[in-house]
Amino acid sequence: MAPKSCALCQNSKAILRRPKTGQHICKHCFFTVFETEVHNTIIQAHLFKPGDRVAIGASGGKDSTVLAYVMKTLNDRYQYGLNLFLLSVDEGITGYRDDSLETVKRNQEQYDMPLKIVSYEELYGWTMDRVVSAIGKKNNCTFCGVFRRQALDRGASGLGVDQIVTGHNADDIAETVLMNIMRGDIGRLGRCTAICTQGEDMIRRSKPFKYAYEKEIVMYAYFKKLDYFSTECIYSPDAYRGHARAFLKDLEAARPSAIIDIIHSGEAFELKEEVRATQKSQQTCKRCGYMSSNDLCKACSLLESLERGMSTAITDKGRRKLEAQGLTPDNMRTIPYFHPSSSVDAEAES
């Protein structure tokens, strides 16, 4: 049988079957449609304005590596006028994060973007290795998600960026919709499909890959020969999310549009006023100055549970480093923060 020609350009030989649409297309057309769809997502959601300083949350994994590459490509091609940075979190996971950070350091050279790394050790005095040795492998992702959220905030403040973009893809969002339905968490269900999260005092955080399929991100990285790290975290991720993921993969195998359909279903939910109104009023954390709905922010109360008697949530070394960036407990209250109740999102970001 003669090789099929590309369904889009009709000129070249089709060498791949596009997971999202099932079309047989050539490599060049795949790059074009993938990049153009991300560009359209960015334009339709008005994600950026010229001159914005944007941090790319970079883990060295496929999603954030492709995001860094595509952001650079689109910024040049369409002249977005963005200043791009890489922002990484070092959770302190031996044999996983130390290796993936080496990948990010190479990406820094390859993409010519400044890189900032913030570590749990310096900020909190705890690595995830130590957290897991203290609490075991049960709730580790909850700790890690809360710590990451604040770490990214502090890193973003240090870089003086206007917003953070993360590599959350369509599969991650569809999974989160399913998890929130299965947990009956209607408040989060209403928020989890938002392409941007932003509130008062909160740095804008957005997901340019909201409609990009994970399979296509992997394919893009493969055909572009991008340098990324593919090992999973050694502290097995959230088991419940794993079930949602397996279920979603089954649905996708039966009908590829399931992923987008679930996202659209999530978007279509309308929250009743009383569900929306359950958010508590904000104050600042008594220990670290972060915005919080209680006396202590989530990170500080987790730290308290880890180390009773520890007098400050942030280590002396971490504090000195923050002060060197002009961040003191007094002005930290102006540091942008992410709403602590959206930790389901944070779990997906490993």
Annotated binding site: 57-59, 63, 89, 167, 172
* Minimum distance from residue 268 beta carbon to ligand SF4 (Å): 29
Q: Report in angstroms how near the CB of residue 347 gets to ligand SF4 at its nearest.
A: 6
Residue 297 interacting partner from Zn ion, ligand SF4, none (CB closer than 5 to 8 Å by kind): Zn ion
Contact of residue 300 among Zn ion, ligand SF4, none (CB under 5-8 Å per partner type): Zn ion
What one-character DSSP code corresponds to residue 269?
Answer: -
Asked if residue 141 binds Zn ion (CB under 5 A), the reply is: no
- Residues that bind Zn ion (rule: CB under 5 A) add up to a total of 12
Shortest reach from residue 198's CB to Zn ion, in Å: 21
- Indicate the DSSP class of residue 96: T
Q: Is 174 in the site for Zn ion (CB under 5 A)?
A: no
Measured N-to-C along each axis, helices 239-254 and 258-268 cross at an angle, to the nearest 10 degrees, of: 120
Query: Does 66 interact with Zn ion (rule: CB under 5 A)?
Result: no
Distance CA 90, CA 109 (A): 19
Nearest to ligand SF4 of 41, 59 (CB atom):
59
Which residues on neighbouring strands pair with residue 118, listed in sequence order? 89
Annotated binding site for ATP: 57-59, 63, 89, 167, 172
Residue 174 CA to residue 214 CA, distance in Å, equals: 11
Token output for 171: 């599969």
Separation of CA 183 from chain center: 21
Q: Which of residues 191-220 bind ligand SF4 (CB under 6 A)?
A: none
Mark residues 113-142: x for contact with ligand SF4 by CB under 6 A, - for none. Answer: ---------------x-----------xx-
Question: For residues 244 and 182, is the Cβ–Cβ distance under 8 A?
Answer: yes
The amino acid occupying position 299 is: A
Q: Which residue is nearest to ligand SF4 (CB)?
A: 350
Shortest distance, CB of residue 338 to ligand SF4, whole angstroms? 15
**Site stretch for Zn ion (CB under 5 A), options 21-29, 86-94, 151-159, 274-282:** 21-29
Cβ–Cβ under 8 Å, residues 286 and 303: no
| 290 forms part of the interface with Zn ion (CB under 5 A) | yes
Q: Which residues contact 236 (CB under 8 A, 6 or more apart)?
A: 137
DSSP state of 327: -
CB 252 within 8 A of CB 258: yes
Which residues contribute to the site for ligand SF4 (CB under 6 A)?
91, 128, 140-141, 144-145, 233, 235, 237, 347, 350
